[in-house]
Amino acid sequence: MNEAGCELCASGELNAAPTVYADDKLFVIIVDDASYPGFCRVIWRDHVREMSDLAQEDRLLLNETVFHVEQAVRETMAPTKVNVASLGNVVPHLHWHIIPRYADDAHFPAPVWATAVRKTDESVLEARRAQLPHLAEAIARRLQQS
């Protein structure tokens, strides 16, 4: 179910995004972010604003999915830390961000939405981008087995 005025529902991303995993309830994408290779989103298909709007079974499914994506990010990207966030202030459609963080990333230790404090070396970012096909495989494998 889409909701008028929801940027995510209106964008067509719910049905057209390149996914690494999808089922009838949710899907997982790797965000095309040059500064944060490995940044993933888990997006609930139906327009829902809050976790508490979901039935218990769906909350458990969503939490397990976020958990598996975080594990795949840790396994593949070897970050210093993983940020997991569900804000929805700008896009009030239930989705989770899973973001690998490194001491050398542009914003560390602040959130990725803060002002950048450095520029990450391009060769480092390229090496991280090279891991994205492996990350996609790891996410798909973990979620297909769950």
Q: Domain coordinates of the chain in residue numbers?
A: 7-145
User: In this predicted structure, what is the pLDDT of residue 34?
Assistant: 92
* Exposure b/e, 87-123, CB count within 10 A at least 16 = b: ebeeebbbbbbbbbbbeebbbbeeebeeeeeeebeee
Q: Predicted confidence band at 18 (pLDDT cuts at 50, 70, 90)? A: confident
- Residue range 32-37: average pLDDT? 94
- What are the structure tokens assigned to 54, written together? 């979901």
User: In this predicted structure, what is the pLDDT of residue 12?
Assistant: 58
Q: CATH fold of 7-145, please?
A: HIT family, subunit A (3.30.428)
Residue 70 carries which side chain, given as an amino acid letter?
A: E
Lowest mean pLDDT among 3-7, 22-26, 37-41: 3-7
User: In this predicted structure, what is the pLDDT of residue 14?
Assistant: 57
User: In this predicted structure, what is the pLDDT of residue 16?
Assistant: 57
pTM of the model: 0.91
